[in-house]
Amino acid sequence: MEIQAKEKINTYQVAQGRVRRAVEQLELPDDVYEWLKSPDCLVECGIPVEMDNGKIRVFTGYRAQHNNVLGPYKGGIRFHPDVDADETKALSIWMTFKCAVARVPFGGGKGAIQVNPRELSLKELERLSRQYVQALAPVLGPEKDIPAPDVNTNAQIMAWMTDEYCKIRQHNDFGVFTGKPLDMGGCVGRETATARGTFYAVREAARVKNLDLEKCTAAVQGYGNVGYYAALFLHQAGCRIVAVNDTSGGAYNPAGLDPVALKEHKNETGSVTGFPGSEKLTTAELYAMDCDIIVPAALENQITPEVARTVQARIIGEGANGPTTPEGDKVLNEKGVLTVPDILANSGGVIVSYFEWVQNNYNYYWPEAQIEDRLQRKMMEAFSHIYNYHCDCSEGTTMREAAFMYALKRLAEAMKVRGWWG
Ligand code: NAD
């Protein structure tokens, strides 16, 4: 059974449903939901790009700015052929709540371009990235809206985009993007930050579940930035990585997979499949794996109720955004699986983006040990705030509901003192 749920589920409605539920659980007035149910602003633009054959192709780009009550809009840019306005809006809502959970002074935003970057040459990709900024420069800025990498974007793309923005503004304004290369105001540890944060969240979840990570086994869906480093950090902590997959297939070895060698194999062959000593596996088999921990690190809506019913793991650490559907959540909760929700488990990326932005503003750069230490402290604080809040909530409240309520309290209070409602 391959998972084909994405077409049937509207991610934007899922995100709105999570906000609605938190508003109801906190018994806040409808005005609060009205403010938060949709982005403050959605820009949709045609991005004309001269292709290598001299012809013009126009791509569709988006930037959703959800809410900025706690600070400038903040959120990654995704390059994907299936991305659309609704997905971008959903991801921007999650960013607002994520920043509130992590207690970083940002609001929520998200950007996207409908494109399969693998079909473009490097030069075409550069022109596309620069043209996106040409279209969006008026709504971006270090105090306004600060994008970062997401699926299929990386430090090089952030470098082109930052450079284009600086040319338009006619001065260096490195704080406008985060996730940049080190030589242009990037932050040490940003590349690994999301997965490092996911690792800390999973480690804390294992602690509250009385599981010894050194005796645990784990499966990881997606082997890009988040998936690879999450597998690596878990492996370094003594956890056995038994299964991994990506769009090209999967690799399973009950004796354990070496994440670094597997990454080298993927770089050489383009796929995790065929890794020496491993067997193939499907996404359905990965989620049904007899293991302690699963880290979804691919895309949304993977854990449907059907998939959730097959889960044997005791902890799910959501590296990806929105991997579990609301119905999937219910099933996991009934089974006693501890799901560390995306807005907590993958907040390491935006936490280190915040450090990068602070350093850009000060033009003073911190050593790696300081970044790692501050990230660890912030992740552990966020986990304990949400876990304790969850324990104080009525029975049956999930960690996700607790995280949404915790964030909503902060957002609603900030909106109230600013006079937006009440
Ligand atoms: P990436 O492009 O580096 O990697 C994505 C991986 O997922 C690839 O290995 C791809 O092959 C795989 N994949 C895609 N669809 C799949 C499917 N249906 N089944 C199995 N594998 C599949 O992206 P990333 O930056 O690692 O992002 C992964 C997830 O983490 C996304 O949900 C993203 O929004 C979220 N996230 C990323 C960051 C960040 O800093 N990069 C921060 C927070 C959250």
**What's the CATH number where 199 sits?**
3.40.50.720
362: Cα within 13 Å, side-chain hemisphere = 10
The bridge status of strand 145-149 relative to strand 249-252 is unpaired
Ligand 1 atom nearest residue 342's Cα: 44
Residue 119 lies in a domain: yes
Instruction: Specify the residue with its C-alpha closest to ligand 1, atom 17.
Output: 247
Query: In Å, how far from its chain's centre is CA 38?
Result: 19
Residues 176 and 257 reside in one and the same domain = no
The predicted pLDDT at position 7 comes to 53
In whole angstroms, what is the distance from residue 45 CA to residue 137 CA? 12
Residue 305 lies in a domain: yes
pLDDT in tens, 32-58: 999 999 999 999 999 999 999 999 999
Q: How far is the CA of 25 from the centre of ligand 1 (A)?
A: 31
Residues 213 and 324 reside in one and the same domain = yes
In whole angstroms, what is the distance from residue 43 CA to residue 240 CA? 44
pLDDT one digit per residue (tens) for the chain, 422 residues: 344 444 578 999 999 999 999 999 999 999 999 999 999 999 999 999 999 999 999 999 999 999 999 999 999 999 999 999 999 999 999 999 999 999 999 999 999 999 999 999 999 999 999 999 999 999 999 999 999 999 999 999 999 999 999 999 999 999 999 999 999 999 999 999 999 999 999 999 999 999 999 999 999 999 999 999 999 999 999 999 999 999 999 999 999 999 999 999 999 999 999 999 999 999 999 999 999 999 999 999 999 999 999 999 999 999 999 999 999 999 999 999 999 999 999 999 999 999 999 999 999 999 999 999 999 999 999 999 999 999 999 888 999 999 999 999 999 999 999 999 99
In whole angstroms, what is the distance from residue 323 CA to residue 147 CA? 22
Which residues contact ligand 1 via a Cβ below 6 A? 149-152, 194, 221-227, 245-247, 283, 297-299, 319-321, 346, 349
Instruction: Specify the residue with its C-alpha closest to ligand 1, atom 37.
Output: 150
Residue 368 lies in a domain: no
Q: Which residues are catalytic?
A: 110
Amino acid at 205: A
Q: How far is the CA of 79 from the centre of ligand 1 (A)?
A: 11
Which of 247, 347, 356 gets mutated to test ligand 1 (max ligand atoms within 8 A of its CB)?
247
Residue 63 phi, psi dihedral angles, 5° rounding: -140, 120
Which of 4, 225, 300, 316 gets mutated to test ligand 1 (max ligand atoms within 8 A of its CB)?
225
Q: How far is the CA of 221 from the centre of ligand 1 (A)?
A: 9
Q: How far is the CA of 225 from the centre of ligand 1 (A)?
A: 7
Residue 99 lies in a domain: yes
Residues 201 and 330 reside in one and the same domain = yes
Instruction: Specify the residue with its C-alpha closest to ligand 1, atom 29.
Output: 320
Residues 58 and 154 reside in one and the same domain = yes
In whole angstroms, what is the distance from residue 95 CA to residue 97 CA? 5
3-state SS, residue 42? strand
Ligand 1 atom nearest residue 322's Cα: 32
Instruction: Specify the residue with its C-alpha closest to ligand 1, atom 43.
Output: 346
Which of 9, 96, 246, 281 gets mutated to test ligand 1 (max ligand atoms within 8 A of its CB)?
246
Q: How far is the CA of 328 from the centre of ligand 1 (A)?
A: 20
Residues 181 and 79 reside in one and the same domain = yes
- Residue that the structure tokens 């004796």 belong to: 255
Which of 6, 14, 194 gets mutated to test ligand 1 (max ligand atoms within 8 A of its CB)?
194
Q: How far is the CA of 32 from the centre of ligand 1 (A)?
A: 31
Residues 181 and 203 reside in one and the same domain = no
Residues 159 and 209 reside in one and the same domain = no
The predicted pLDDT at position 407 comes to 98
The predicted pLDDT at position 396 comes to 87
Rounded alpha-carbon distances, angstroms, from residue 305 to 5, 190, 282, 323, 399: 10, 34, 17, 12, 18
Instruction: Specify the residue with its C-alpha closest to ligand 1, atom 12.
Output: 222
Instruction: Specify the residue with its C-alpha closest to ligand 1, atom 4.
Output: 224
Q: How far is the CA of 157 from the centre of ligand 1 (A)?
A: 16
Instruction: Specify the residue with its C-alpha closest to ligand 1, atom 3.
Output: 224
Residue 196 · residue 346 · CB < 8 Å: no
- Which among 150, 167, 185 is the end of a domain? 185
Residues 227 and 270 reside in one and the same domain = yes
* CATH number for the domain harbouring residue 163: 3.40.50.10860
3-state DSSP helix/strand/coil % of the chain, to nearest 5: 50, 15, 30
- Which among 185, 220, 244 is the end of a domain? 185
Beta bridge partners of 109: 65
Ligand 1 atom nearest residue 319's Cα: 30
Residue 105 lies in a domain: yes
Residues 221 and 145 reside in one and the same domain = no
Residue 154 lies in a domain: yes
Residues 218 and 136 reside in one and the same domain = no
Number of domains in the chain: 2
Ligand 1 atom nearest residue 228's Cα: 26
Residue 34 lies in a domain: no
Domain with 320, as residue range(s), is 192-345
Residues 49 and 117 reside in one and the same domain = yes
Residues 176 and 203 reside in one and the same domain = no
- Which among 325, 345, 365 is the end of a domain? 345
Residue 411 lies in a domain: no
Residue of 386, 314, 377 lying closest to 351 (CA atoms): 377
Q: How far is the CA of 331 from the centre of ligand 1 (A)?
A: 24
